Chain A
Amino acid sequence: MSHFALVGKPNSGKSSLFNLLTGLHQKIANYGGATLESKVGEFHGHEITDLPGIKSLHSVSLDERITKEMVLEYADSKSPILFVLNGMQLENNMLLFSEIADLQIPTIVVINFKDDLAKNRVVFERDKLAQALGCPVVMMNSRNGDGLEELKQLLDTESFKIPNAFCKSLYDEFQDGEILNSYKDSLVQARNDGAHVHENDFFKRQKIIGSIVRSIIEDPTQKRNFLEKSKRWDRFFLHPIYGILFFLFTMLLVFQAVFYFATIPMDWIDQAFASMSEWTNINITNEWVASIISDGILPGLGGVLIFVPQIAILFFLLGILEHSGYLSRISFISNRFLSKFGLSGQSVIPLMSSWACAIPAIMSARMIDDPKERMAVIFATPLMTCSARLPVYTILIAVMVPNATGGIFNIQGVLLLVLYLIGVIATLVTAWFISRRAAIPSSNLWSLELPVYRIPNWRNVLYNMYLKTKAFVIDAGKIIFIVAMVLWFLASYSPQSEAYIENEYQSLVEANPDKVISKDAVHLEYSFAGYLGKLIEPAIKPLGYDWKMGIALISSFAAREVFVGSLSTIYSVGSEEESLILTRLRNEVNADTGEARYNLATCVSLLLFYVFALQCMSTMAIVRRETGSWRVPIIQFVVMLIMAYVFAFIGYRLF
């Protein structure tokens, strides 16, 4: 099986092409740095690798390292590459091509953005270009697959050719073999100590490329107008007033949408699970099986599935932001504001993508040029409100305030926005602290590329929404399923004998003759889970939580989205009737005061706990990988736990 890799500048359409060839679904986005790791797929028996974009073999930036290493490896093994370039930035992209061509790797060149070229009437003499470069050239539109057949044919016949070396004319005083080796050595050295591009080398390349491009493009003045449309949009989107207002409005819209549009399907799902539990209890005769399904599995799963509509909407809207090119404009307008916190516009993509999930967000911090800023982002990002917090927020908000509208805005939606804002503020303050304290030298290099605006590729946005939501359900589902089973077991069995519990129950009934005492509740209290909860109760009592909430809290330290499912399981085991999660929480009574368990103070306290606590094993694992040791994730965990406890305590006291 032969294998080849896709190489090219950031945002040149490599992943789009990879998806076309392999049928896989790599992330596509309209900014450089969407692909962060190599990904292998298969096409007609060949192994294809999609790689992160690279600006130059001489660049020292972190996100380009993987590709640089890979290209050097390919140079040694003479494995072929598919070089993808943006036809609208031909000269610029050819510079990278020339650097790679000099490594004498067998290549096929794909000139992408065929549609943009046609729209702007840029006409190439393709055969002449192929001749000048010394390898086959295909024109493609990786967005709709135009030109794919021709490329497939070339791949099937393995028509890769070693391109003409540019360095032959650059360093004509050397012999062929010698040139190649000294060039390679210089790159290997650059990899190790970040040596600089030889400026002379750059000029010579530029000159050769310039003459090639002039010889193949019929009218080079045409494409100058190409960027005009985007520039006109920028006058609005980057405007000090309209631009910023538009940004704030967009954010508000996102949160309203997440809360408002999702409520109806959420009610259906909640209802469906309650009915399923009821059905199970009636129709499954084996009591043990019925109990494990209706009290363990169903409430647990319901606790995650109910949030599918919200998460899908969130992913959909973030997808639009990523595809349109607007995300980079947010980077632009927020740059100065963020610089007050030791961050910059380069942090916007990691920070905003952590609304979906902190894991890809922390990885994408690689595209931040300044190592100090990168550390600040890695450290603070888990405080941004990820989609796993959404379930906890949603349910607690719904318990706290009944559905009410104030003017055009949904109050619950506004509260959600407030929680997201607290997350953002906590992130910024933490980042500020880290950037002042961390003993990492700042590189002080910064730039931001503004991609042209594009209409989102709807199929891709929708499909990605589906994939990510599915991944959320399956990943969260697995954990929740296991946790629910364990919890059900712990909550259903007791270290005490049945007779002992019966005895306790009877004495309780006698002591409180005018109170209805649920037998199931007493059972729960004397179960393993009950003892466990009671054990930690003293620690969480100052925050307003009881032992039942304590159990759910502990179970959510592996992954915070478990919380709702766990609560739901605990309350199902502890009561006779099946009902909606919401109703259950609303009906819970504080045994000490006789008031509702989930009163304002408790809800605020819980919400604040979840804003700050780092309850996500996967995040800790990825931070370890990205920073190279357990030091940072452990500090993060402890610091955020302390913040969570302190703020939850304050919140409980204030309300």
Chain B
Amino acid sequence: MSQIELLEGERCIVIAIQGTKDFQNYLLVNGIALGSVLTKNFSPSFSKLINITVGGKMLSLREADFAQIDIVKI
């Protein structure tokens, strides 16, 4: 599922991460892995960034990067 369908305040769970090994490792170090629960926060579209809460911290990712994370809404 793509992030477009995720609205502010909705939660999702990570089911797969695409992209290079470096990218996956980078996300892991930032606390995002399979099974992580993410909440989408206010993400104004002009910024082309997606704000999420993960593991008690607020993180911004680029839209294109976030699209590499496969999620399902919960």
Contacts and interface: CB of A to CB of B under 8 A. Distances in A.
Q: Are A and B genuine complex partners?
A: yes
Interface of A: 55-56, 58-60, 88-92, 95, 194, 196-197, 199, 202-203, 206, 223, 226-227, 230-231, 234-235, 238-240, 243, 332-333, 335-336, 345, 369, 443-452
The 10 A-B pairs at the shortest CB distance, nearest first, are namely A92-B55, A89-B56, A448-B60, A450-B58, A59-B29, A196-B25, A56-B29, A240-B46, A445-B26, A240-B44
A450 B60 contact: yes
Among A194, A203, A345, A450, the most chain B Cβ lie within 10 Å of the Cβ of A450
Contact of A92 (B25, B56, B62, B65): B56
B22 A447 contact: no
Among B45, B46, B56, the most chain A Cβ lie within 10 Å of the Cβ of B56
B58 to A, nearest CB: 4
B3 interface: no
Interface of B is mostly: mixed
B28 interface: yes
Contacts of A60: 25
A452 B46 CA distance: 22
Contacts of B28: 56, 58, 196-197, 199, 202
Nearest to B60: A448
Among A88, A446, A451, the most chain B Cβ lie within 10 Å of the Cβ of A446
B7 interface: no
Contact of A335 (B31, B42, B47): B47
Given A238-B42, A333-B47, A336-B48, 15 more contacts: A55-B30, A58-B25, A92-B31, A92-B57, A196-B25, A199-B24, A199-B34, A206-B35, A240-B47, A243-B44, A445-B22, A445-B23, A445-B26, A448-B59, A450-B60
Contacts of B57: 89, 92, 449
A95 to B, nearest CB: 7
A376 B60 CA distance: 22
A447 B25 contact: no
Nearest to A60: B25
Contacts of A88: 56
A465 to B, nearest CB: 28
Contact of A90 (B29, B30, B56): B56
Nearest to A230: B58
Contacts of B23: 444-445
Contacts of A445: 22-23, 26
A450 to B, nearest CB: 4
B25 A95 contact: no
Interface of B: 21-26, 28-31, 33-35, 41-42, 44-49, 51, 53, 55-62, 65
B44 to A, nearest CB: 5
B24 A235 contact: no
Nearest to A369: B26
A234 B51 contact: yes
A197 B29 contact: yes
Nearest to A244: B46
Nearest to B20: A444
Contact of B26 (A89, A226, A447): A447
B60 to A, nearest CB: 4
A196 B48 CA distance: 28
A582 B51 CA distance: 51
Nearest to B62: A446
B33 A447 contact: no
Contact of A238 (B26, B30, B47, B53): B47
Contacts of A56: 28-29
A162 to B, nearest CB: 25
Contact of A332 (B24, B26, B60): B60
Given A92-B57, A196-B21, A196-B24, A450 B51 contact: yes
Contacts of A443: 22
Contact of B29 (A55, A203, A446): A55
Contacts of A243: 44
B41 A234 contact: yes
7 contacts: A89-B56, A90-B56, A332-B47, A332-B49, A448-B49, A449-B57, A449-B59
Contacts of B58: 227, 230-231, 234, 449-452
A369 B27 CA distance: 12
A557 B72 CA distance: 60
B33 to A, nearest CB: 6
A448 B49 CA distance: 10
Contacts of B35: 203, 206
B41 A95 contact: no
Contact of A89 (B29, B44, B55, B65): B55
A197 B24 CA distance: 9
B49 A335 contact: yes
Contact of B30 (A239, A447, A452): A447
